Amino acid sequence: MVAPLRVGIAGLGTVGAEVVRLLDQQKRALSVRSGRGIRVVAVSARSKAKKRGVDLSGIEWAKNALAIANDPRVDVLVELMGGAGDPALSAIEAALKNGKSVVTANKALIAKYGSRLAALAEKHGGALNYEAAVGAAIPVIKTLREGLAGTDIHRVYGILNGTCNYILTRMEREGLSFAECLKDAQRLGYAEANPSFDVDGHDTAQKLAILASLAFGTKVNQSAVYVEGISSIAPEDLRAADELGYRVKLLGVAVRTETGIEQRVHPTMVPRSSSIAQVMDVTNAVTIDGDGIPPITLVGPGAGGAATASAVVADIADIARSVRALPFGRPVAKLKPTSKAPMRRHEGGYYIRLMARDLAGTAATIATRLAEQKISIESIVQRHPDGMIESIKAGGKSSPVPVILITYATTEDAVRRALQAVQQDRVITGRPQVIRIEKN
Whether residues 259 and 243 share a domain: the answer is yes
Whether residues 123 and 188 share a domain: the answer is no
Question: What pLDDT is stored for residue 147 in this prediction?
Answer: 94
**207 part of the active site:** yes
> Residues near 17 by Cβ (< 8 Å), separated by ≥ 6?
52, 53, 54, 305
Residue 392 sits in a domain whose CATH number is 3.30.70.260
**Alpha-carbon span 391 to 46, nearest angstrom:** 65
Interval 60-70 mean pLDDT: 97
- In-domain check, residue 314: no
Residue 250 sits in a domain whose CATH number is 3.30.360.10
Cβ burial of 188 (10 Å; 0-12, 13-18, 19+) is exposed
Asked if the model's pLDDT at residue 221 lies above 90, the reply is: yes
Residue 220 Cα to chain centre, angstroms: 14
Asked if the model's pLDDT at residue 400 lies above 60, the reply is: yes
Question: What pLDDT is stored for residue 384 in this prediction?
Answer: 60
Asked if the model's pLDDT at residue 399 lies above 90, the reply is: no
Question: What pLDDT is stored for residue 387 in this prediction?
Answer: 40
Whether residues 220 and 354 share a domain: the answer is no
Interval 408-419 mean pLDDT: 95
Whether residues 294 and 145 share a domain: the answer is yes
Question: What pLDDT is stored for residue 381 in this prediction?
Answer: 83
- In-domain check, residue 216: yes
Asked if the model's pLDDT at residue 192 lies above 90, the reply is: no
Whether residues 170 and 125 share a domain: the answer is no
Confidence of residue 303 (pLDDT cuts 50, 70, 90): confident
Asked if the model's pLDDT at residue 389 lies above 50, the reply is: no
Domain boundary among 90, 115, 133: 133
- In-domain check, residue 310: no
Interval 298-302 mean pLDDT: 92
Interval 33-55 mean pLDDT: 93
Question: What pLDDT is stored for residue 394 in this prediction?
Answer: 41
Asked if the model's pLDDT at residue 393 lies above 60, the reply is: no
Whether residues 366 and 286 share a domain: the answer is no
Interval 229-246 mean pLDDT: 95
| Residue 344 vs residues 93, 277, 413, 437: alpha-carbon distances, Å | 39, 26, 4, 15
Question: What pLDDT is stored for residue 392 in this prediction?
Answer: 36
**Alpha-carbon span 5 to 84, nearest angstrom:** 27
Q: Which residue has the higher pLDDT, 427 or 393?
A: 427
Confidence of residue 383 (pLDDT cuts 50, 70, 90): low
pLDDT, one tens digit per residue, over 347-370 is 999 999 999 988 888 889 999 999
Question: What pLDDT is stored for residue 385 in this prediction?
Answer: 54
- In-domain check, residue 240: yes
Whether residues 147 and 227 share a domain: the answer is yes
Whether residues 145 and 284 share a domain: the answer is yes
Residue of 100, 112, 142, 207 marked active site: 207
Question: What pLDDT is stored for residue 353 in this prediction?
Answer: 95
Interval 77-101 mean pLDDT: 97
Whether residues 35 and 99 share a domain: the answer is yes
Interval 301-308 mean pLDDT: 88
**Alpha-carbon span 262 to 270, nearest angstrom:** 18
- In-domain check, residue 174: yes
CA angle centred on 147, ends 298 and 278, rounded to 5°: 10
Confidence of residue 395 (pLDDT cuts 50, 70, 90): very low
Whether residues 220 and 279 share a domain: the answer is yes
Domain boundary among 301, 336, 368: 301
Q: Where are the alpha helices (DSSP H) in 127-249?
A: 140-142, 162-174, 178-187, 196-199, 202-216, 235-243
pLDDT, one tens digit per residue, over 260-288 is 899 999 999 999 999 999 999 999 999 99
Question: What pLDDT is stored for residue 189 in this prediction?
Answer: 84
Asked if the model's pLDDT at residue 386 lies above 90, the reply is: no
Asked if the model's pLDDT at residue 94 lies above 60, the reply is: yes
Element (H, E) at 314: helix 305-320
- In-domain check, residue 319: no
| End-to-end alpha carbon distance in the chain | 52
Question: What pLDDT is stored for residue 397 in this prediction?
Answer: 54
pLDDT, one tens digit per residue, over 133-154 is 999 999 999 999 999 999 999 9
Segments forming the whole domain that contains residue 396: 344-437
**Alpha-carbon span 15 to 24, nearest angstrom:** 14
Instruction: Report pTM.
Output: 0.92
Whether residues 42 and 85 share a domain: the answer is yes
Number of structural domains, the chain? 3
* pLDDT-above-90 percentage for the chain: 82
Question: What pLDDT is stored for residue 1 in this prediction?
Answer: 67
Q: Are 121 and 127 in contact (CB under 8 A)?
A: yes
Residue 106: CB atoms within 10 A of its CB come to 24
SS3 323: coil
Q: Are 126 and 96 in contact (CB under 8 A)?
A: yes
- In-domain check, residue 338: no
Element (H, E) at 254: strand 246-257
Q: What are phi and psi of 247, to 5 degrees?
A: -140, 145
Question: What pLDDT is stored for residue 188 in this prediction?
Answer: 86
Question: What pLDDT is stored for residue 156 in this prediction?
Answer: 97
SS3 397: coil
- In-domain check, residue 339: no
Whether residues 281 and 419 share a domain: the answer is no
Question: What pLDDT is stored for residue 106 in this prediction?
Answer: 96
Residue 176: CB atoms within 10 A of its CB come to 17
| Residue 167 vs residues 162, 173, 179, 180, 193: alpha-carbon distances, Å | 9, 10, 9, 9, 15
For residue 247, the number of C-alpha atoms closer than 13 Å in the C-beta half-sphere is: 21
CA angle centred on 412, ends 178 and 135, rounded to 5°: 50
Q: Please, what is the average pLDDT of the chain? A: 92
Domain boundary among 266, 301, 336: 301
Total residue length of the chain: 440
Q: Which residue has the higher pLDDT, 343 or 318?
A: 318
> Residues near 229 by Cβ (< 8 Å), separated by ≥ 6?
164, 196, 199, 200, 201, 250, 267
**Alpha-carbon span 332 to 335, nearest angstrom:** 5
* pLDDT-above-70 percentage for the chain: 96
SS3 27: helix
Omega within 30 of 0 (cis) for the link into 87: yes
